[in-house]
Structure 1
Amino acid sequence: MPHFESFVVLAGMRTGSNLLEAALNALPGVTCHGEAFNPALIGYPKRSALLGMTRAERDADPLALWARIKAAPGLNGCRYFHDHDPRLLAPMLADPACAKIVLTRNPVESYVSLQIARATGQWKLGDARNRKSVRAEFDPAGFEAHLAAVQGFQIHILHGLQTSGQSAFYVDYDDLQDLEVLNGLAAWLGVEGRLAALPDSLVVQNPEPIEAKVGNFAQMSAALARLDRFNLSRTPNFEPRRGPNVPGFLAAGGLLYMPLRPDVPGVAEWLAGLGPVERGFSQKTLRQWKRRHPGHRSFTVLRHPLLRAHLALHAVLTRDDMGHVRDVLRESYRLALGPEALEPFLGWIKANLNGQTSLPVSPLWASQSALMQGLGQFATPDLIAREEDLPRDLGWLAPGAPAFTPLPDPVPALIPTPALQKAAREAYPRDFMQFGFGEYQAA
């Protein structure tokens, strides 16, 4: 008996999925129904129906066709690409009785093969005598889009398998010429049949080395050299994910303020000049507010990371609810707390944001990148303003409203030094990169 009730080949264009399908269909009792959920066709080109369902019927109820595929005699499945009907991917990934076969190929090879297929119109080859030959032109922007789609699809698959506690059978393009691998797949599926030979109904279309298939190979090599293949420029992020903090939002006059703590003095007062301020939202009541205010606009305000750390330190030093934080910083981390402790406090923030301390990350010193991601779980603001540009930006967002008047923060003045500027960059590298902050300029 098969180990599964169905299967899906999770692949992409020019990865060898036709060859893999031919191998699967050569196994007794196994049927792969082509690209059953390709929006442009149903199963195969020039077919009008699959298992008694037309394309229109499938598009109206794709799960009905998937149910027919699963119910067909034997072990049945299909090929699914990243641009196929998105309504199917979640049910397929969530079903442990559906075997996941993940087919991959070097993305440069698949991109070049795709360019050749588009140029020749030849997507399958049964006999080398009928082969059409052309050299591909490598387009850097086109390849980066292709790579992003491939990687995004693979990450989505991996996440779905991890969160549901499943595994997949991974096959590379080169494995399709390995009879032992294909029979290993049959054993994993739990079917009794085995292949005696590789399928001969299809042949490899472009067996030449890559340099012989690309007309501008030198340009391609230079473009690939500029790609950060191993993502070395990535800034690691170990901060916990945050919620959108909807109860902290303020609304008045059709404007919604989505503050990032610590708040910017004067913004709430300016908002109150537009009308009665509504606050204390839940996600439900905020959706209701949005429906009552067609044409509403939303905004948030970024502050320089060095200033935010300065404000956070002041809160730690003065607020009653921060007593436990003061105790931990003094006793566990030996910080001599005081207004002059900003540089060592920034060093501690760096460790805290990297998950290396015993205290959780407070919104007071969390990175604004993480706070913005939290906002995005509910809605992204129309305007992301910089504190120093608020008079101009709020005038643009609400023409005719009273001019914005900034108010001072109730903290001692911050005197930036080169050491503090450096410590802020090291504590908040993602914010500096993401939002383009420069050196802090005292008002």
Structure 2
Amino acid sequence: MPRFHSFVVFAEMRTGSNLLEANLNALPGVVSHGEVFNRYILGKKDRTDLFGITMEERDRDPRPLLRKLREETEGLPGFRFFHDHDLRILDDVLPDPGCAKIILTRNPLESYVSWKIAQATDQWKLTNARRLKTAKVRFDVPEFLQHLRDIQAFQLLLMHALQTTGQTAFYLDYEDLGSLDVINGLAAFLGVEGRLKALDDTLKKQNPGPLEDKLENPEALAEAIAAVDVFNLGRAPSFEPRRAAGVPTALASDTGLLFFPIRSGPETVIRDWFTGLGDVTEGFEQKSLRQWKRRHPGHRSFTVLRHPLLRAHAAFRRKIVQGEAQDLRRILINGFLAELQPPGEPFASVEAERAAFLIFLNYCRLAVGGQTGARVDPGLASQTAVVQGFAGFQPLDRLLREDSLVEGLGALAAETGAVPPAVTPDPAEATLLSIWDESLESAAAEAYARDYMGFGFTRWRV
């Protein structure tokens, strides 16, 4: 039984993917169809249909083309995929262990400069060295740094998908493309019998020579390199577990609004507001949510950020005071010596509640730091991790703030043509105000440092 039924080459522009594809296609029984899910071309330039499917049909739903590519190709079929191609197809490709993953990378400085030269000369392939076009280009530091962030984010997405599905990929660097042994090793990985006796020499290297010689402003390289934290020393490591996308918790309105709730946020307020818009749909899976999106062109997705101190207190009141999380109550009592009343009963004094809440905030700090050994409840996780989890399905259109919710919801409703209902006030603030002091501000800032830094939160009481 064949090891794989298809393959995908994950690469970027100017990483040598054309050369890799030429050598793959030289292997007997292997067919790579190009950038099949590039939004601007259909596999290759000027092609109008592939396997009887047009670009317009592919753009409406890419999955039929993937199915036909696999079913109707003679041999092992594959394609190239870059970070800016149609990401919808990844739901079918990444979790599938029968689809081989080949990951091709190149020094991002070199690929960026090569891309700038190709833009300037409009020469994207070279088969005859006598036709080489050369140009010196200007190095744009902000543009390069964004280019670097984009490809790094995509590589992290691929790595996480492989880790969570127990798969491995065949990794190649740009310089590996000149090794016959490596390419034949790739053939062995794919499980095909054919081997190459020589590499394809049709495509020529376009921009040999030192990087500085290709630039109008080579001094900008120093600025770019200084801005890149090579060893990632500029951030504290985060051991908070990555969150799932939370698709089953999403609320959808027929007006075209889609809400992804952050637990311990103003969920009830938004649910009441949604109900005022009309019928609410929930209980989605990723497939059904994508179908909803297709049925509602012009939709808008959003979530609501709450101040970390207020959010932690809401979680404390519900999970600890009201007794929703019995296991966590026992941990706080036995492991942290919290003095808690029976579930539902009030504290003896403001000081007693404040002391218990401080212990809870300390537990939250340990939990999001991966130091408790227990699963992090979604109501206690950082909002940064939760929002990143949402982006694993699809980045959201809006991150609203609870302190400007009326304006934010009104603007969203206007974008979809809905008449916004009134927003019901949330009593959470008054409950926190009764016990607030400076020690709570400090403890919350320690527990949720990622949220304070990432979303710019300041003190709750200014």
TM-score class normalised by the smaller sequence: 0.7 to 0.9
Q: 1:306 aligns with which of 302, 306, 309?
A: 309
How many Å separate the matches in 1 of 2:247 and 2:276? 23
How many Å separate the matches in 2 of 1:22 and 1:212? 29
Between 1:144-153 and 1:354-363, the stretch displaced more is: 354-363
**Correspondence for 1:216:** 217
Summarize the Cα distance change of 1:215–1:344 in structure 2 as closer, same or farther, 3 Å threshold: same
Once the two structures are TM-superposed, the CA of residue 12 in structure 1 deviates from its matched residue by: 2.1
Summarize the Cα distance change of 1:431–1:31 in structure 2 as closer, same or farther, 3 Å threshold: closer
**Correspondence for 1:431:** 451
Once the two structures are TM-superposed, the CA of residue 328 in structure 1 deviates from its matched residue by: 2.7
Q: 2:435 aligns with which of 408, 414, 419?
A: 414
**Structure 1 position 349 matched with structure 2 position 326:** no
Partner amino acid, structure 2, of 1:422:
S
Summarize the Cα distance change of 1:165–1:320 in structure 2 as closer, same or farther, 3 Å threshold: closer
Partner amino acid, structure 2, of 1:111:
Y
Report if the CA contact (8 A) 1:20-1:176 is conserved: yes
How many Å separate the matches in 1 of 2:275 and 2:48? 60
Report if the CA contact (8 A) 1:186-1:194 is conserved: yes
**Correspondence for 1:339:** 353
Partner amino acid, structure 2, of 1:425:
A
Report the secondary structure of 1:332's partner residue: helix
Summarize the Cα distance change of 1:330–1:209 in structure 2 as closer, same or farther, 3 Å threshold: same
How many Å separate the matches in 2 of 1:2 and 1:255? 45
Summarize the Cα distance change of 1:344–1:170 in structure 2 as closer, same or farther, 3 Å threshold: same
Partner amino acid, structure 1, of 2:20:
L
**Correspondence for 1:18:** 18
Summarize the Cα distance change of 1:255–1:334 in structure 2 as closer, same or farther, 3 Å threshold: same
Once the two structures are TM-superposed, the CA of residue 234 in structure 1 deviates from its matched residue by: 5.9
How many Å separate the matches in 1 of 2:316 and 2:227? 41
Summarize the Cα distance change of 1:431–1:405 in structure 2 as closer, same or farther, 3 Å threshold: closer
How many Å separate the matches in 2 of 1:34 and 1:275? 47
**Correspondence for 2:331:** 328
Report the secondary structure of 2:219's partner residue: helix
Report the secondary structure of 1:217's partner residue: coil
Report if the CA contact (8 A) 2:277-2:421 is conserved: no
Summarize the Cα distance change of 1:307–1:201 in structure 2 as closer, same or farther, 3 Å threshold: closer
Between 1:161-170 and 1:59-68, the stretch displaced more is: 59-68
Partner amino acid, structure 2, of 1:416:
D
Summarize the Cα distance change of 1:114–1:3 in structure 2 as closer, same or farther, 3 Å threshold: same
**Correspondence for 2:195:** 194
Once the two structures are TM-superposed, the CA of residue 140 in structure 1 deviates from its matched residue by: 2.7
Report if the CA contact (8 A) 2:184-2:195 is conserved: yes
Once the two structures are TM-superposed, the CA of residue 394 in structure 1 deviates from its matched residue by: 8.6
How many Å separate the matches in 1 of 2:36 and 2:258? 45
1:322-369 superposed Cα distances (whole Å, 9 cap, x missing partner): 665444323223346633524444222211233433665556655444
Once the two structures are TM-superposed, the CA of residue 135 in structure 1 deviates from its matched residue by: 1.5
Report if the CA contact (8 A) 1:416-1:441 is conserved: no
Report if the CA contact (8 A) 1:2-1:75 is conserved: no
TM-score normalised over the length of structure 1: 0.73
Partner amino acid, structure 2, of 1:414:
I
Once the two structures are TM-superposed, the CA of residue 209 in structure 1 deviates from its matched residue by: 1.8
How many Å separate the matches in 2 of 1:59 and 1:68? 16
How many Å separate the matches in 2 of 1:371 and 1:299? 13
Once the two structures are TM-superposed, the CA of residue 375 in structure 1 deviates from its matched residue by: 8.2
Report the secondary structure of 2:152's partner residue: helix
How many Å separate the matches in 1 of 2:423 and 2:193? 78
How many Å separate the matches in 1 of 2:113 and 2:130? 21
Matches within 5 A, 1:147-158: 147-158=148-159
**Correspondence for 2:141:** 140
Partner amino acid, structure 1, of 2:219:
A
Report the secondary structure of 2:445's partner residue: helix
Matches within 5 A, 1:320-399: 325-335=328-338, 338-339=352-353, 341=355, 342-357=357-372, 361=376, 365-369=380-384, 384-387=400-403
Summarize the Cα distance change of 1:334–1:255 in structure 2 as closer, same or farther, 3 Å threshold: same
Once the two structures are TM-superposed, the CA of residue 393 in structure 1 deviates from its matched residue by: 7.6
Once the two structures are TM-superposed, the CA of residue 105 in structure 1 deviates from its matched residue by: 1.1
1:363-416 superposed Cα distances (whole Å, 9 cap, x missing partner): 6655444566788889969673444x6798899999996997979734673352
Between 1:86-95 and 1:374-383, the stretch displaced more is: 374-383
Report if the CA contact (8 A) 1:314-1:411 is conserved: no
**Correspondence for 1:100:** 101
How many Å separate the matches in 1 of 2:354 and 2:401? 30
Partner amino acid, structure 2, of 1:305:
P
Report if the CA contact (8 A) 1:244-1:374 is conserved: no
Summarize the Cα distance change of 1:41–1:281 in structure 2 as closer, same or farther, 3 Å threshold: closer
Matches within 5 A, 1:272-287: 282-283=282-283
How many Å separate the matches in 1 of 2:57 and 2:278? 47
**Correspondence for 2:78:** 77
Summarize the Cα distance change of 1:307–1:33 in structure 2 as closer, same or farther, 3 Å threshold: closer
**Correspondence for 1:124:** 125
Report if the CA contact (8 A) 1:335-1:344 is conserved: yes
How many Å separate the matches in 2 of 1:255 and 1:26? 49
Once the two structures are TM-superposed, the CA of residue 92 in structure 1 deviates from its matched residue by: 4.1
Once the two structures are TM-superposed, the CA of residue 432 in structure 1 deviates from its matched residue by: 1.0
From the CA coordinates, give the structure whose radius of gyration is larger: 1
**Correspondence for 1:292:** none
User: Matched residues, percent identical?
Assistant: 44
Report if the CA contact (8 A) 1:391-1:405 is conserved: no
Gaps of 5+ in 1: 288-294
Once the two structures are TM-superposed, the CA of residue 152 in structure 1 deviates from its matched residue by: 3.8
How many Å separate the matches in 2 of 1:346 and 1:196? 64
1:199-257 superposed Cα distances (whole Å, 9 cap, x missing partner): 3222211111212222222223213322345543266262574747969x9x9xx9999
RMSD of aligned alpha carbons: 5.0
Report the secondary structure of 2:133's partner residue: coil
Number of matched residues?
Answer: 427
